[in-house]
């Protein structure tokens, strides 16, 4: 298939792009490089540096009329959404509408959309199934849910010749290699690992008892790619999580242990809770299992070990350290994380 991946140079998008290429698909990537890196994208991919909020950039991306669109591009920070709600709205809603408009005009038949568990807000039911009413408590959650509704309402339009088959994935806390360890607004595990590697305090906002559901990137990619040409997924919304709760304090301890540290030799500081934070988060993944045959395979400890190996290799290269020495250090710490 010819597949367009928006945000394909970022953390999740680049992993999906690599998998698609490995399976023989022809891929175009558009990314504004606000958080993504061109170096994350395979050389054989057609690459456009552009923004989904810019119709001219999307014209270039869609000019070869893809068979399918994987729409990952988005503003992903809850805190930045509060400090710049207009920017959040433009990227996550206007950008999604622009992508949909291109699909309609070009006759694209397939779209997969990156939604978010933040759409649920503080759900009464935990683990949370997909039929739970959505009541987001953050601006970010509002925009991701709005984008999701635009996607499914567009697919329901009776005036589209041939129709548009859509699938949305409400992703939980995705982590793994290529997740930024130097971006204080993106991915709590990456933030914690970066803090430890640089010798900075870990900062927890709230009492640390709030929980998240951490799902490994390879498992997430399995679901996206598996649904691409699967008619059973058409028109449906799926949770992508591990089905396990982990408190933020527990995560801090796991990250410290993976890097050979403890709270006795590395500070963990607690600060007042920030707006838009969900309290208890855990995915019910039974629906994805029954429809897609998908189950998360990677335990947090296993995925954390792999992420630590990657983070230490990357940090070693940035600091000019010997790669073989750094690789040995990474493997030793990763083995301790699994143990």
The residues carrying an active-site annotation are: 140
* Phi, psi for residue 12 in degrees, rounded to 5: -70, -45
- SS3 state at 205: strand
| Long-range contact set of residues 310-316: C-beta below 8 Å, sequence gap at least 24 | 310/176, 310/177, 310/178, 311/177, 311/181, 311/190, 311/193, 311/194, 311/197, 312/197, 314/181, 315/181, 315/197
Compute the distance between CA of residue 132 and CA of residue 118 in angstroms, rounded to an integer. 12
One-character DSSP codes across 12-26:
HHHHHHHHHHHTT-E
Q: Are 302 and 335 in contact (CB under 8 A)?
A: no
35-66 as b/e: b if 16+ CB within 10 A: bbeeebbeeebebbebbbbeeebbeebbeeeb
Distance of CA 138 to the CA centre of its chain: 17
What DSSP state is assigned to residue 90? I
Compute the distance between CA of residue 233 and CA of residue 236 in angstroms, rounded to an integer. 6
Instruction: Spell out the residues 6+ positions from residue 276 whose beta carbon is closer than 8 angstroms to its own.
Output: 78, 79, 81, 82, 137, 138, 139, 140, 141
**Tokens encoding 148:** 């999701």
Q: What Cα–Cα distance (Å) separates residue 153 from each residue in 69, 94, 160? A: 17, 15, 12
Compute the distance between CA of residue 193 and CA of residue 187 in angstroms, rounded to an integer. 10
């698909």: which residue's tokens? 25
What DSSP state is assigned to residue 133? P
């Amino acid at each position: 298939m010819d597949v367009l991946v928006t945000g394909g140079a970022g953390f999740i998008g680049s992993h999906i792009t690599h998998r698609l290429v490995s399976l023989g698909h022809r891929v175009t990537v558009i990314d504004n490089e606000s958080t993504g890196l061109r170096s994350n994208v395979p050389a054989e991919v057609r690459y456009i540096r552009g923004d989904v909020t810019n119709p001219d950039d999307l014209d270039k991306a869609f000019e070869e009329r893809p068979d399918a669109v994987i729409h990952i591009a988005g503003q992903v920070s809850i805190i930045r959404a509060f400090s710049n709600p207009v920017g959040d709205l433009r990227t996550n809603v206007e950008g999604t509408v622009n992508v949909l408009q291109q699909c309609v005009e070009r006759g694209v038949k397939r779209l997969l959309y990156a939604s978010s568990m933040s759409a649920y807000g503080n759900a009464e039911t935990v683990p949370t199934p997909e039929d739970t009413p959505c009541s987001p408590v953050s601006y970010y959650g509002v925009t991701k849910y709005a984008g999701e509704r635009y996607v499914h309402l567009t697919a329901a339009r009776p005036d589209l010749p041939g129709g548009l088959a859509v699938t949305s994935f409400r992703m939980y806390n995705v982590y793994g290699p290529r997740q930024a360890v130097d971006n204080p607004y993106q991915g709590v595990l990456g933030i914690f690992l970066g803090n430890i590697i640089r010798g900075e305090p870990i900062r927890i906002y709230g009492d640390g008892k709030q929980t998240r559901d951490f799902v490994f990137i390879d498992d997430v990619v399995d679901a996206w790619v598996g649904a691409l040409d699967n008619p059973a997924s058409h028109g449906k919304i799926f949770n992508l999580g591990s089905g396990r709760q982990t408190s933020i304090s527990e995560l801090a301890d796991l990250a410290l242990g993976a890097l050979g540290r403890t709270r006795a030799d590395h500070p963990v500081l607690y600060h007042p809770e920030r707006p838009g934070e969900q309290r208890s988060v855990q995915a019910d993944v039974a629906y994805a299992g029954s429809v897609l045959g998908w189950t998360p395979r990677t335990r947090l400890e296993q995925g954390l070990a792999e992420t630590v190996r990657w983070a230490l290799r990357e940090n070693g290269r940035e600091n000019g350290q010997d790669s073989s020495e750094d690789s040995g250090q990474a493997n030793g710490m990763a083995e301790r994380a699994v143990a």
